[in-house]
Amino acid sequence: MNELFYHASNIGNLTKIKPLSKLHGSCEAVAYFTPIRAYALFYLRDMDINHVTCGVNKDGVIVYHEQFSNQLQTLYQDRSGYLYICENKNMELAHTNGVWVARQSLVALRTEYVADVYAEILKDEESGATHVVRYDSLSDENKQEYVKMMKTVILKQGYLTNDSKKALFFKENFSEAWNIAENETSPI
């Protein structure tokens, strides 16, 4: 199997993709790849926030779920990065559909600079390679499910008591969940 795979990075001028990430659920070092360019775009993200809410359905279409209004635009507009194209050399399917891992360094055959990730994602949406479930199209019940889920994340991760970039992201974009979390932890 000699398919080409994509690795997304905010770092330019790489000649090798090294296994520097941790395998989901373990401490093993791997490099992540996907054969789907549209999927790789979502990993050109702010690493401090790291809020990726998409997956690959059974038809190979990327399905992106917004969890707050204009999430896609908020996270990807004005972002740029690099897609490194590598040959599949001993990669293995990972824990998620469309995600592969390599345990050894791979040579980057080509590099694609993506000047505007948001614009590229919108092109993929227009072509049908990506389906975006917009927050504003959700029912009030579904929106409240996200509020409850995000309140749990805020409390579990201790975001109320720190000023990390991710905590500030949650405070700004999940304000209803943030307020509920604050009220639940406030002394009466």
- Over the stretch 47-79, which tens digit does the pLDDT of each residue have? 999 999 999 999 999 999 999 999 999 999 999
* Same-domain pairing of 157 and 70: no
Angle at 97 between CA 94 and CA 103, to 5 degrees: 20
Write down the pTM of the prediction.
0.93
How many angstroms separate the CA atoms of 1 and 87, rounded? 9
* Same-domain pairing of 92 and 153: no
pLDDT at residue 95, as a whole number: 85
Q: Name the token pair of 6.
A: 């994509």
pLDDT at residue 185, as a whole number: 83
Which helix (DSSP H) or strand (DSSP E) does residue 32 occupy? Answer: strand 29-33
* Same-domain pairing of 100 and 155: no
pLDDT at residue 166, as a whole number: 97
Where residue 1 falls among pLDDT bands split at 50, 70, 90? very low
- Over the stretch 73-130, which tens digit does the pLDDT of each residue have? 999 999 999 999 999 988 999 988 999 999 999 999 999 999 999 999 999 999 999 9
* Same-domain pairing of 156 and 127: no
pLDDT at residue 188, as a whole number: 55
pLDDT at residue 104, as a whole number: 96
Closest C-alpha to 67, from 179, 172, 188, 180: 172
> Looking at residues 2-14, what average pLDDT do you find?
93
Q: How far is CA 43 from CA 80, 81, 114, 117, 170, in A?
A: 11, 9, 12, 10, 19
* Same-domain pairing of 21 and 89: yes
> Looking at residues 136-157, what average pLDDT do you find?
97
* Same-domain pairing of 155 and 176: yes
* Same-domain pairing of 57 and 101: yes
Where residue 27 falls among pLDDT bands split at 50, 70, 90? confident
pLDDT at residue 26, as a whole number: 85
* Same-domain pairing of 80 and 131: yes
Domain of 46 in residue numbering reads as: 4-137
* Same-domain pairing of 119 and 157: no
- To the nearest whole percent, how much of the chain has pLDDT over 90? 90
Angle at 113 between CA 110 and CA 116, to 5 degrees: 150
Sequence-ordered list of residues with C-beta below 8 angstroms from that of 65, at least 6 positions apart, any chain:
53, 54, 133
Strand order in the sheet with 81-87: 4-9, 81-87, 110-114
Which helix (DSSP H) or strand (DSSP E) does residue 21 occupy? Answer: strand 21-22
Q: Name the token pair of 5.
A: 């795979």
* Same-domain pairing of 31 and 124: yes
| Structural domains counted in the chain | 2
* Same-domain pairing of 126 and 147: no
